Amino acid sequence: MPNLTDVPKRILIGRALQSDKLGETLLPKRIALPVFASDALSSVAYAPEEILLTLSLAGVSAIHFSWQIGVVVAVVMLAVVASYRQNVHAYPSGGGDYEVATVNHGPKSGLVVASALMVDYVLTVAVSTTSGVANVVSAVPMLRGHEMALSVTLVLVLMGMNLRGVRESGSAFAIPTYAFMAGVIGMVLYGLVRNLVFGTAMHAESAGFHLQPTPGNEAVTGFALVFLLLKAFSSGCAALTGVEAISNGVPAFRKPKSKNAATTLLLMATIAVTMFMGIIYLAHLTGTQMAENPAQQLAGAPAGYHQKTALAQISEAVFSNFTPGFYFIAAVTGLILVLAANTAFNGFPVLGSILAQDRYLPRQLHTRGDRLAFSNGIILLAGVAVIFIMAFDADPNRLIQLYIVGVFVSFNMSQSGMIRHWTRLLRSETDGKERRRMQRSRAINAFGLVMTAAVLIVVLVTKIGHAWIAIATMCVLFVMMKAIRRHYDRVSTELTAAEEPDDTVLPTRMHAIVLVSKLHKPALRALAYAQLARAHTLEAVTVNVDPGDTRALQEEWDTRDIGVPLKVLDSPYRDITGPVLEYVKNLRRSTPRDVVSVYIPEYVVGHWYEHLLHNQSALRLKGRLLFKPGVMVTSVPWQLESSERRKSQRAWSAPGDVRRGEPRRRTVPSGSVENRADANADASKDTTS
């Protein structure tokens, strides 16, 4: 029967691509930058806001620390990017942090990294889409209250775009990503010109409010102030999310893959740091203030005041004399934050494919879809991201608190693994120039490890109240992947053929059973097919559900002189499955070394609704028999006219097609049931069709 989803599937994701077209989906640097770096670039839209929100706990007295914290975050970002440039050269296969940790620390460490990365990818989708919606709502207040529906819809749209293939989705995302970069950098330059050249004072809408500390933080000093600054720093490190995506996506680059990936990393870091520090500076210049509880902390704010995002306030102040500039920033920011989820849609399926190949995830995740994308991974990522969005009420500030833990766990494992990688190579390398290059690379990775380890400690200390959810999810994934690997290993051990033939396991005899309800064409075909197998014994079996029908079947059986014994199984409770299972079990119990082969005639219909009318008993019975050792189940199909007509409609002009159910002839062994039955002409169709 034709696949009834073909037409809508082709409309949604396009025509299927042949496997040899995989090279056409590889990305040049100009497309790879928006595809893999959109997450890291878009983080600058909400990372400064997270710093301001955390500092607001101490009131206006702590806000002036924002630019110092921004500088430290920028240094950490540059250190991480420099470290990952070493990764893409050393491990270009696309395994990224997972491969580095597995090769240098062992499988368990690799699973820790894989768990962290999968949580990170899911949260990337959830945070990016909800943050994008929040920015759009800041510019279009009438959308307030619909954040959940908008976020879920955007995730589904992104899923559909990625199912069409990496290259097509990358081309679609290139213009918005470049527009965002141009918009933010243009806003920074425009603000600097207005302030430094023309001396224009720019004030955010929150600059006129008095920011009050939350109760208990009226006089934050000493250790409490240090803790607050560390918490603000850990929040600002959200700007580093997505940096690792390029190392996981090296196979998607055009050749030379490693060189192009390293160049893209450098471009991403330069642009991201420039935008991040520019936004931090403009926030300080415009007096932008953010509050976790605006109603209590922003004295002077009007009743019912809805706090805009930090970037929206900054752009409104900078473009106070050019309103289209404000709306342009709002539009491209909302768009890039949504499209930043595309980084996860490219990274998660690749990682899932690698893990599936290593037998830590279901094998279906290793299969490419019609458009040569890992479709199952894309759908799984979208589904889990939607669950997180709904669980946290589409609130980006709550989701971001879970975000950074997984990122820095993978950062640390990756950098420590790279140090071991270079150390191992240095033991055998004798060329002086190559040794200096390796030592330089090891030093870069060591510096990156120091930076990321410090950040991870800070994150765990300052965010443990929220981070435990992400940590618990990682632990569940770790245990689940170990269990999946044990299952696949156990199955592989059971199925591995012995090096020497073991005669003791061979069956001695085969009993063939043909299930019969009526003596019609499907039953005759099943009997003929069973005869071809030449089993030691062959019998037909029917279940006595209706005594009248059973007597009629026995009479017709004798009249036709079928030549195969008919066994009638009693069923006082009118059940078909139970008596057959019991009969098969008794056969196996009486002759344990024999094999029982059960032949089940089935209808093949042409429409989905016809399936509801046929084959339900056969499906249930097959499902139960499959769990019985020593029992073989064979379906013998009979194509109804509707099935043949549908097949003819799909390929009418193809040679050898079956026309309107006309049977194709084959040679039937003499003495078979089909030769001896009067109504056997049509039953001589190809039994293997």
What is the per-residue pLDDT across 76-109, written as a single tens digit (0 to 9) for each? 999 999 999 988 888 887 667 888 999 999 999 9
Q: Which residue has the higher pLDDT, 435 or 466?
A: 435
Give the pLDDT of residue 671.
40
Q: Which residues of 240-264 are buried (b: 16+ CB within 10 A; e: fewer)?
A: bbbbbbbbbbbebbeeebbebbbbb
Residue 133: pLDDT above 60?
yes
Confidence category of residue 649, pLDDT binned at 50, 70, 90: low
Give the pLDDT of residue 575.
82
Q: Of 200-214, 247-261, 381-395, which has the strongest mean pLDDT?
A: 381-395
Give the pLDDT of residue 517.
87
Q: Which residue has the higher pLDDT, 388 or 304?
A: 388
Give the pLDDT of residue 687.
33
Kindly state the average pLDDT of the residues 531-559.
Answer: 90
Q: Which residue has the higher pLDDT, 72 or 494?
A: 72
Confidence category of residue 583, pLDDT binned at 50, 70, 90: very high
Give the pLDDT of residue 652.
44
Residue 433: pLDDT above 60?
yes
Residue 346: pLDDT above 80?
no
Kindly state the average pLDDT of the residues 120-126.
Answer: 89
Give the pLDDT of residue 246.
81
Task: Report residue 46: phi and psi, to 5°.
Answer: -120, -15
pTM: 0.68
Give the pLDDT of residue 468.
84
Domains of the chain: 24-300+308-489 (1.20.1740.10), 506-684 (3.40.50.620)
Q: Which residue has the higher pLDDT, 300 or 268?
A: 268
Nearest by Cα to 12 from 159, 181, 209, 132: 159
Give the pLDDT of residue 95.
67
Give the pLDDT of residue 40.
82
Nearest by Cα to 636 from 513, 544, 549, 538: 513
Identity of residue 62 = A
Q: Which residue has the higher pLDDT, 62 or 584?
A: 584
Residue 456: pLDDT above 60?
yes
CA atoms of 590 and 570, how far apart (whole Å): 20
Give the pLDDT of residue 568.
94
Q: What's the pLDDT tens digit per position in 15-39?
A: 554 444 444 457 788 888 887 777 7
Identity of residue 607 = H
Residue 660: pLDDT above 50?
no
Residue 210: pLDDT above 50?
yes
Give the pLDDT of residue 383.
92
Report the SS3 class of residue 598.
strand
Confidence category of residue 279, pLDDT binned at 50, 70, 90: very high
Q: Of 294-303, 391-400, 424-433, 490-499, which has the strongest mean pLDDT?
A: 424-433
CA 205 to chain centre: 41
Confidence category of residue 668, pLDDT binned at 50, 70, 90: very low
Kindly state the average pLDDT of the residues 232-249.
Answer: 82
Residue 186: pLDDT above 80?
yes
Least confident of 129-143, 270-284, 578-592: 129-143
Q: What secondary structure letter does DSSP report for 639?
A: E
Q: What's the pLDDT tens digit per position in 405-417?
A: 888 898 899 999 9
Q: What secondary structure letter does DSSP report for 562?
A: -
Rounded to 10°, the helix 107-139/432-495 angle is 100
Residue 521: pLDDT above 50?
yes
- Respond yes or no on whether the N-terminal peptide bond of residue 637 is cis (omega within 30° of 0): no
CB atoms within 10 A of CB 634: 16
Give the pLDDT of residue 117.
87
Give the pLDDT of residue 499.
59
Residue 489: pLDDT above 60?
yes
Report the SS3 class of residue 290.
coil
CB atoms within 10 A of CB 81: 23
Spell out the residues 6+ positions from residue 271 whose beta carbon is closer than 8 angstroms to its own.
37, 41, 181, 185
Least confident of 155-169, 334-348, 454-468, 541-555: 155-169
Q: Of 1-10, 62-71, 398-407, 670-679, which has the strongest mean pLDDT?
A: 62-71
Give the pLDDT of residue 666.
38
CA atoms of 481 and 80, how far apart (whole Å): 28
Q: What's the pLDDT tens digit per position in 312-344?
A: 999 999 999 888 999 999 889 888 877 777 778
The residue whose two tokens read 């909302």 is: 334
Confidence category of residue 612, pLDDT binned at 50, 70, 90: low
What does pLDDT average to over the chain? 80
